[in-house]
A = this chain, B = another copy of it.
Amino acid sequence: MKKKSVNAMEVARLAKVSQSTVSRVFTPGSNVSEKTKRKVLEVARELGYRPNALARGLIMNKTNIVGLAMRDIENPFYHEVLGKFTKGLRDRGYHVLFVYTENDEIQQEEITQFLEYSVEGVIVTDAYLSSKVVSQLHENNIPVILFNRYSKDIPCYSVSCDNYAAAQQIARYLHEQGYQNMAFITGRENTSTSQDRQRGFCDFLQGVGMAPIIEKGDFTYEKAYEATLRMLAREVRPDAIFGANDITALGALDAVKAKGLSVPDDIAIVGFDNIKMTSWPSHELTTWEQPVDEMIELTIDTLLNDMKMGSVEPASKLVSGQLIERRTTKKKI
């Protein structure tokens, strides 16, 4: 059934040149006379010829494919991230082999996929990577970079928001606004993101003689909602809640409202990510903006440089971001 697709040989025949010449026409920087080039291109267009990327990848040992692995989550932040990675990579001539991981950890199956297709690099977002998997990739000379996640145990590049510093600043901000009794709702606790945000928050508060309430969440709305209800049932309830991400903060916001309390008068709320929804009139959430574009660029550039240079010393790169003040916080008098 399959009609064989046209190949360089066929074009060569019709254009009365050798197949090598056809190949050169499609290789930027090759030596071909203007005249032959035109002729070949014309025939190619007529036939609908296009060089086969697989064959090219095979011979050049360069596939122009980057593997992108992402956990399956509801956080729209990562949807945005995915889109920007795809565009950024395309602009640099790379294609995206996409993989969803169902478990926390990237599975052997996904890695096999990347290996078999000879991806030139792997970007991992919001998923955990065992060091075994990383070394497997490294043994095959495939650089790996973690986006918004890192691990001290794993020798691997990473780009993240400086979650620790950001959380400190959020704590300082709330403190300066006059809040007295703060709370933090965690994300999934095995993530560096959640850990760093918690540490930064607590460390600052400790410095001013405060200790926040900590409730467990998992980055989802539902868990945050429940965590908030638990908090509100305590003897002393918090007057400010910092959620490990925006979705968490929105869950807290709704729980507070559901209890008939007012935001920010009774309780202030701060999120993290600055996803689009936070600016909706019904939320107007104060949050921390991650400089997504910058992070994406940095990630891609680091990965591509790593590809070229071979094994450079892995490093964690941090970017800052800024507080976006909206209506869920205010200066207490």
Contact = CB atoms under 8 A, between A and B. Distances in A.
A181 B195 CA distance: 52
B74 A276 contact: yes
Contact of A100 (B83, B250, B282): B83
B310 A1 contact: yes
8 pairs of A and B residues whose beta carbons are closest in the complex: A98-B98, A1-B310, A53-B116, A254-B282, A79-B79, A86-B100, A96-B98, A53-B117
A97 B100 contact: no
A3 interface: yes
A113 B87 contact: no
A317 to B, nearest CB: 22
Interface size classification for chain A: 35 or more
Given A98-B86, A100-B87, A141 B3 contact: yes
A50 B116 contact: yes
A291 to B, nearest CB: 19
Oligomer copy total: 2
A204 interface: no
A2 interface: yes
Nearest to A116: B53
A59 to B, nearest CB: 10
Nearest to A222: B280
A96 B97 contact: yes
Interface in A61-112: 61, 63, 68, 72, 74, 76, 79, 83, 86-87, 90, 95-100, 102, 109, 112
Contact of A63 (B54, B96, B282): B54
A130 interface: no
A257 to B, nearest CB: 7
